[in-house]
């Protein structure tokens, strides 16, 4: 059986005078464990090449990372905004739009859910604690282990995510929390399907899409969680169904 090819976006770091592609290994391992083959998508890829990726890759994983440029969504300036990378923003926003318009299976993680929302016309809190009254602390990144279960998330009954994580119902699932930004206004093409106790949106879906999900937490950093393993398996299985027939026949 052919492995589903999962395109994974990445960041760029500068070390002395060299630029280095950067992606945490946990994303790769999560895809491998779920039965997929990860393929790194560099941020230097040109817009003209994105359609070619759509023909060759069976699924798309938008990873976490630094902040989306607030200019992309007319966001409120905030001194905590960091790591702006306009080249990465451009590539990932175009990929998200392509996935939404062509039924390309897509999973957005942390920054990834934010990119999907911005790509489809939504907005973000550029810093949750500064701009969302009554907000919980969500930025545990430098304070704990990455798999620390910071708070519960309530899933919408009957949503794709609820079915994946609990076989239906409206469960509470405990998640890690490694971000300081989050969804403010949901894009018109998205449906919110999970929220934190402070009502911050924690997951969205593309209605009618074969697999179009974004989650605000980091499931790849919770490798021992059966629920998070189920999320990656569902994503890779949806990508496998997207395999071109010519590859299935090999």
Q: Position of tokens 């890829």?
A: 45
Q: Position of tokens 């969504």?
A: 73
Angle at 165 between CA 161 and CA 170, to 5 degrees: 70
What is the rounded CA–CA span in Å between residue 135 and residue 139?
A: 11
Q: Is 110 among the catalytic positions?
A: yes
Q: Is 199 among the catalytic positions?
A: no
Catalytic residue among 110, 138, 151, 180: 110
Catalytic residue among 92, 202, 205, 220: 220
What is the rounded CA–CA span in Å between residue 188 and residue 120?
A: 7
Catalytic residue among 179, 180, 209, 218: 218
Other Cβ atoms within 10 Å of 155 Cβ, number: 25
Q: Is 218 among the catalytic positions?
A: yes
Strand partners, 106: 60, 212
Enumerate the active-site residues.
110, 218, 220
């Amino acid at each position: 059986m052919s492995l589903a090819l999962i395109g994974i976006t990445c960041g760029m770091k500068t070390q002395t005078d060299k630029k280095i592609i950067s992606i945490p290994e946990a994303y790769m391992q999560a895809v491998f464990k779920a039965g997929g083959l990860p393929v790194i998508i560099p941020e230097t890829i040109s817009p003209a090449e994105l359609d070619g990726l759509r023909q060759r890759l069976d699924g798309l994983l938008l990873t976490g990372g630094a902040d989306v440029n607030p200019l992309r969504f007319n966001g409120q300036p905030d001194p905590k905004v960091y790591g702006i990378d306009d080249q990465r923003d451009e590539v990932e926003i175009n990929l998200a739009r392509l996935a939404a318009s062509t039924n390309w299976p897509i999973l957005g993680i942390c920054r990834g859910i934010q990119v999907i929302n911005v790509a489809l016309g939504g907005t973000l809190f550029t810093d949750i604690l500064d701009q969302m009254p009554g907000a919980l602390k969500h930025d545990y990144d430098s304070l704990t282990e990455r798999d620390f279960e910071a708070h519960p998330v309530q899933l919408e009954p009957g949503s794709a995510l609820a079915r994946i994580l609990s076989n239906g119902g409206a469960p509470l699932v405990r998640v890690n929390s490694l971000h300081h930004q989050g969804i403010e206004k949901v894009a018109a093409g998205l449906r919110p399907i999970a929220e934190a106790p402070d009502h911050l949106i924690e997951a969205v879906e593309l209605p009618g899409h074969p697999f179009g999900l974004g989650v605000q937490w980091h499931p790849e950093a919770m490798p021992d969680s059966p629920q998070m393993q189920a999320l990656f398996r569902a994503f890779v299985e949806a990508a496998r169904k997207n395999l071109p027939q010519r590859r299935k026949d090999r």
